[in-house]
Amino acid sequence: MEHFTMEHAIQLDNQDPLAKYRQEFYINHEKIYLDGNSLGLLSKRAEKTALEMLKSWKNYGIEGWTEGENPWFYVSESVGERMATLVGANGREVIVTGSTTGNLHQLLATFYEPQGNKKKILTDELAFPTDIYAIKSHLKLKGFDPDNELIKVKSRDGHTLSEKDIISEMKDDVRLVILPSILYRSGQILNMSKLTEEAHKRDILIGFDLCHSIGSIPHQLTQWDVDFAFWCNYKHLNGGPGAVGGLYVNQRHFGREPGLAGWFSSKKENQFDMDHQLVSEDHAGAYQMGTPHILSLAPLLGSVDMFQEAGIHKIREKSLKLTEFMMTLLEQELAKEEFIIRNPVPDEQRGGHLFIEHSDAARICKALKENGIVPDFRSPNGIRLAPVALYNTFVEVWKTVQTLKRIMDNGEYRKYTNERGVIA
């Protein structure tokens, strides 16, 4: 096997067609930031559009709803149209609104319609907790016991899911399936096309949580005939902390009344009639509820434009090279240590981050941070490392693995407690 060196990393960076985008971000050159799958870095374009939105408030006051370069009244639809290419949808199927959990509540309220014995919701035991909390809430609201009506597909190894196991649980009593596109811990990509096809064969609606996939991998939601999807925009899309989320509704479902109706569910031309009879939009905008969070949405105007310019397929190509390079280095430099790579290795199954295990993971993460490297600890013994295509480099990956090797060789990590912080 080829032995990779620092010179090889430099060569890869010199050949990188996306290298110029690193200059678009605010980089702390004293650190190596590998936590973009939790919170992406600020770009200069996102800062610019955020400041421009503040300026529009300053200059227009109330008139900002209809005046200026990005009138507030239409900005959720405008950004949704631009974001649609990232999920493989048409512009009318995507709206930027709410939050991950708020949007999931809306979609559950809209699409979970138990009929007779067909009343169960299928998900998985590795799902992010907020998805489970929301699903349980809606089962209880319908008068059901989640212990009986919520099916969580078991993982065979505690890290990944078998698609065969998921499909085998799509039984006659299942009404709705909600799954992650990429598992937040291990980074496994599920075959959304196959799972959607199998669900529809059984007259089951299916939706996906795209939090760890949007901006990281390409999607074709409409081509795959996915019923709905939801996501946050502060990870790979670099929308900033608390950025407004997004949702997708397949055009087949246009005209379905929103389960949680609100003022911004209304058709734009009817909204200020102030009628108590809702006339909802005939596109994904119907699934908005309250007034858009304009200032938290503004950074996405700049960020999404950068993704359109760079191209999601080129981003994915570099992401795969970065994670493959890191896996090779981990095996090359740390073979004698007790690290286990838990993320899938095949390209078609591996998302934008790596997940490695070690019994001293918490203290290793603390040692990495002390040495200027920002990882992500996941209890009880997981380390997530996310080299992001738009701003991380192959040299940074090289330096990270060399630092990890050093703190393991000299035992530096042992001076820290093996416990997570308040936020991990």
Is 299 annotated in a binding site? The answer is no
Distance, CA of 73 to chain centre = 26
Phi-psi region of 157 (alpha: psi -120 to 50; beta: other; left: phi over 0): alpha
Ranges of beta strands (E only) in 163-232 are 174-180, 205-209, 228-231
How far, in Å, CA of 270 to CA of 412, rounded? 64
Is 133 annotated in a binding site? The answer is no
User: How is residue 148 written in tokens?
Assistant: 């009986």
Is 128 annotated in a binding site? The answer is yes
Q: Are 42 and 26 in contact (CB under 8 A)?
A: yes
User: How is residue 135 written in tokens?
Assistant: 């699903």
Is 49 annotated in a binding site? The answer is no
Give residues with Cβ within 8 angstroms of 277, minimum separation 6: none
Q: What is the dihedral of CA 390, 391, 396, 400, to 10 degrees?
A: -90
Transcribe 294-360 into DSSP letters: HHHHHHHHHHHHHHHHH-HHHHHHHHHHHHHHHHHHHHHH-TTS--EE-S--SGGGB-SSEEEE-TT
Instruction: Reduce the DSSP state of residue 208 to 3 states and report it.
Output: strand
**Strands of 382-385's sheet, edge to edge?**
340-341, 354-357, 382-385, 376-378
Q: Are 356 and 385 in contact (CB under 8 A)?
A: yes
* Total residues found in the chain within this entry: 424
Is 224 annotated in a binding site? The answer is no
Instruction: Reduce the DSSP state of residue 96 to 3 states and report it.
Output: strand
Location of structure tokens 């390409």: 218
Is 101 annotated in a binding site? The answer is yes
Is 130 annotated in a binding site? The answer is yes
How far, in Å, CA of 255 to CA of 280, rounded? 8
Location of structure tokens 């939790």: 38
Is 131 annotated in a binding site? The answer is yes
Which residues belong to the annotated binding site for pyridoxal 5'-phosphate?
100-101, 128-131, 209, 212, 234, 263, 291
Which residues belong to the annotated binding site?
100-101, 128-131, 209, 212, 234, 263, 291
